[in-house]
Amino acid sequence: MLYCTAPGLAMWCLDWSMRLHELKLLLYGELSTFGNGWYCITVPIPRSRLAGCSCRSPLAHFFIHHGDSSTREVHPFTTITHLATKDATTSAENNEIVIQFLFRKAAATAPTQEHLARHPWLSTIYSRLRRKPFKSPQWTEKIASSLDREIHQRSHTHLENKEQELNISVDLTLRLEGPYFSPADPSRYHTTVCLVAGTGISGAIAIAGAFHALQRSRSLAEPGYPKSITSEPAWRRCIIVWSVRESDYVDLPPLELNSEAQVQVCLTGPGKPRQDITAIMAQFSRTMPPNAGIWAYISGPAGFIENAKTVCKAMSNVEYHAASWEI
């Protein structure tokens, strides 16, 4: 029995020792805002984290620990930085590379009146608890509060308009585990379509960064861009279809920097139709050259992902990758 369990136990111990080794290092970054509840974490990581990595995937996620928000919680975040390009274009003398994460704070909310009406038992419980906070602040809300306090303090003395809030940042200490790459190589396909909703835009920004690097290396023949990106010439089109609530929408600078990608924004909300993924994918498929393939990246709420997966499965020339945090 020992001979059967020993190899697995050894691998488990090795895996956790490597994770704890990465989480032991305290990293110093900063937190800024893009406005309308969107926040950006910028943090330098040791370049050694990418040592020996030959993965072509533009999709990478880290597990983030922020001790000031929670001593126990560690949360996965997809970086909006294309790591291969960042590594190749950072000076060899620099032992760190700077990466970014995008998020919206998830505030604690109480049940709506409509929800309470459908579930009378919940209304009874809520009526007894409403004198107390219904839910503790979420992890992202705790992180964002440090910047919100700084903006609030400066609003009384220094800020003349809302645009000046975008220039404010606060220091942040984090611990990161990763990167972990998702199996994806969009450069093998003629067209990449990113079907994303809400904060699912993070992975799409990283993919757009990879396409930006490829197009720039083609047009300028710049030697600084990673050869692993340019070795596959099939990738000719990158399209991002972003579904987002109209009340949550904001122009995201990282997305605007990658101008080679085509971005279609579908604003949702009261009185607005939902995104018709079937019609969108059919339109892209009709404009494809013969025998050319489409690769779709899907990210967003669970219902959105399942709907997009159903559409992609029904199309013969489409392969897809759906973001998932299942272990």
Number of other CB atoms surrounding residue 160 within 10 Å = 7
Mean pLDDT of the chain: 82
Give the pLDDT confidence score for residue 4 in this predicted structure: 64
% of the chain surpassing 90 pLDDT: 54
Environment class of residue 267 by beta-carbon count within 10 Å: exposed (0-12), middle (13-18) or buried (19+)?
A: middle
Which whole number is the average pLDDT over 49-60?
81
Task: Dump pLDDT digits (tens) for 79-133.
Answer: 999 999 999 889 989 999 999 999 998 654 444 454 445 555 444 554 444 444 4
pLDDT higher than threshold 80 for residue 165: no
Give the pLDDT confidence score for residue 304 in this predicted structure: 95
Bridge-based pairing of strands 318-322 and 96-104 is unpaired
In this prediction the pTM is 0.84
Give the pLDDT confidence score for residue 51 in this predicted structure: 80
How far is Cα of residue 222 from the mean position of the Cα atoms in its chain? 28
Give the pLDDT confidence score for residue 297 in this predicted structure: 98
Task: Dump pLDDT digits (tens) for 228-247.
Answer: 444 445 899 999 999 999 99
Which whole number is the average pLDDT over 285-300?
93
